[in-house]
Structure 1
């Protein structure tokens, strides 16, 4: 069946469904496709298991598109999305469903084989018969079939599906025999790798079927996009819109997008979409085309705006934390306590975090990207009983100076007073474990949607947490740390000074949580000067 492709007058950035080169601005996937082609040429079976909205289906569609005119390969893409639950219930119904989908797709390409393909389909009523039917289909087709199965999660919590994989495994192992033929390459795509199905299949009786896919090679193709792969998308947009940004400007924009997103496909595209469709139209226009140029400040604004969104990606992130308390606890320790977690592939909590896109790993475990850090912080803040941590008199305008600056000295003093006033109502362990989160909760209503706080956990014996607070166009450097003695305290001040140097700021703020029993009951705060830098310190 021939389908005519209607090319629109303009492309746009896309975050819903598949991406198509003639419709959407897309990042460069050529390096990824080269590695996938090598796997296919070798006849490998593999699984593309990545979090949601990570470009899995778009990659499958690109594979199909690259092979559709091949004289050697025939790609067949089948999806298990929205499949009737009854079809997964038994081995017979799943076998019938699969062969029906397969032969229906082949009929569109080989209509002259209609009678034979329909006969094969009608004679398939069990997994045993399915194995023979696949062999018959392979013998009919004059090309090597590449089978791509998308959204396998929809069926993977059913034992019949695992037995179906077992059939493919057995045929793969016998593929060079005289009587058994099978697909040249099989590609599964979904959130769960087959080895991680233990998170979906709870019955211990069913877990015996959890290793039918040990024939699959590891899929080591990075699905994130680095700055050099982001640049072609920006360049395509730049040329189409006749904006006139030079190579250096495009490179800086790509680096900034990567800084916030770590190359997460959905987040990169959504940030670009916000700039193109929400931010640029608000800029004043004149005869100078430079008003439509993207700036680094535009990317910062997109970062600020995306945090306010409620979308399925962020909802899935939070749901995975809510449904996995061990994962939520680890994330909280990393963000609030500065806990350093070495990567261990055999740690089931880390494995779940990687699986759901919460973590990335590069020697140590990290939150996937800075946008996710903000979303998780927001979630942690609202998870605390707000009546316990936010005074009724607390409003933004009490702390705003002229030129939309914040009086951060007053903010810290009020936080200090608030904790002192409510100290008797809080358990000591609660304060010690949650004081950083209490500060974030205290800070959020001041920012009141006009700013945000970037967190940078520091590797040190003091377990510091550095905050870069952005309010309108103003930046404030705040360090939170536990009291660990005078020597460590002095070291912390020196580290804050160095951090101010890197951030090109003259003023910083230090909040010290002092849990010593013999500490004074007087509220303590002071300004200190180190060369040209001023640091305001408060003890709580």
Structure 2
């Protein structure tokens, strides 16, 4: 057992050390940036040699496995996210969004989006984190503080290959599936909707939540207020969508 613990400790330290040497691109990969895999690029070659990243089927960089993705996500969680999330939690009465034994998750996510509109984007401008990471870290911190206050649980599932993070809130026997993605165009958005729809079917759920972080309006176009929150109705499920603008 001691040998196993030492080996795990060594692997953890080796992973975080090598990844930290190229933190910004690794974070971008972790949260969905599509970076072309080529061993002629020194940092890609180094990370691949140390087993941090691999080439996926589409020829892009991907974190080597889900365990590594979870370790790196937790390792780099910025204190700024906890600070901003606590400001939001403490400035809003969450009890009004608890109806019986259920959460008004739609209202809680709407409050999150509005908070980022008012304050969050300024915070993102001063953090050293790439924008692919900051929004999802802030939402994770917000939901984590929420469930700790009300006595629920939060589970995280990461798919770095798809740039997707699923946050599952469990409260009094009810499960709320919140999928997060970066905006990389309409095709990737539609793919995210289909992924969430399939996930809801496996969970036996009829309502899901998709939070999309829109970080580069100059590239992808500006969003109007009417495009920020809406519902996609499907045959077996409804998906409530929230676009969170991280850039001007």
Q: Which range, TM-score by smaller chain?
A: 0.5 to 0.7
Q: How do residues 73-112 of structure 1 correspond to structure 2 at under 5 angstroms?
A: none
What is the aligned counterpart of 2:77 among 372, 381, 390? 381
The residue number in structure 1 matching 2:118 is 421
The residue number in structure 2 matching 1:503 is 203
CA contact (8 A) 2:84 2:138 kept: no
What is the aligned counterpart of 1:524 among 222, 228, 233? 228
What is the aligned counterpart of 2:147 among 440, 447, 462? 447
Q: In structure 1, how many angstroms separate the alpha carbons of the residues matched to 2:33 and 2:174?
A: 25
For residue 419 of structure 1, give the secondary structure of its aligned residue in structure 2.
Answer: helix
Q: How do residues 136-535 of structure 1 correspond to structure 2 at under 5 angstroms?
A: 313=9, 317=12, 321=16, 325-337=20-32, 347-352=45-50, 354=51, 365-367=63-65, 369=67, 373-384=69-80, 386-391=82-87, 392-393=90-91, 399-403=97-101, 405-422=102-119, 425-426=122-123, 432-433=131-132, 434-448=134-148, 450-457=152-159, 459=161, 464-472=163-171, 473-514=173-214, 515-516=216-217, 518-521=222-225, 524-535=228-239
Shift of 1:494: 2.8
Change (3 A) 1:361 1:492: closer
Q: In structure 1, how many angstroms separate the alpha carbons of the residues matched to 2:236 and 2:121?
A: 40
Structure 1: 5+ residue stretches without partners: 1-14, 19-50, 55-265, 267-312
Q: In structure 2, how many angstroms separate the alpha carbons of the residues matched to 1:488 and 1:375?
A: 26
Change (3 A) 1:443 1:385: closer
Shift of 1:362: 9.1
Change (3 A) 1:393 1:382: same
CA contact (8 A) 1:465 1:480 kept: yes
Shift of 1:506: 1.5
Which protein is richer in strand relative to its size?
2
Shift of 1:487: 4.7
Shift of 1:385: 5.7
Equivalenced residue count is 224
Q: In structure 2, how many angstroms separate the alpha carbons of the residues matched to 1:444 and 1:451?
A: 8
Change (3 A) 1:532 1:427: closer
Q: In structure 2, how many angstroms separate the alpha carbons of the residues matched to 1:528 and 1:508?
A: 10
CA-to-partner distance for each residue in 1:261-299, whole Å, 9 max, x for gaps?
xxxxx6xxxxxxxxxxxxxxxxxxxxxxxxxxxxxxxxx
Change (3 A) 1:374 1:450: farther
Pair member with larger Rg: 1
Shift of 1:331: 4.1
Shift of 1:441: 2.1
Shift of 1:398: 5.7
Change (3 A) 1:323 1:458: closer
For residue 381 of structure 1, give the secondary structure of its aligned residue in structure 2.
Answer: coil
Q: In structure 2, how many angstroms separate the alpha carbons of the residues matched to 1:426 and 1:440?
A: 16
Change (3 A) 1:452 1:327: farther
Shift of 1:474: 3.5
User: TM-score normalised to the size of structure 2?
Assistant: 0.67
Structure 2: 5+ residue stretches without partners: none
Q: Higher RCO, 1 or 2 (CA under 8 Å, sep at least 6)?
A: 2
For residue 505 of structure 1, give the secondary structure of its aligned residue in structure 2.
Answer: coil
User: TM-score normalised to the size of structure 1?
Assistant: 0.35
Shift of 1:394: 5.7
Shift of 1:415: 0.8
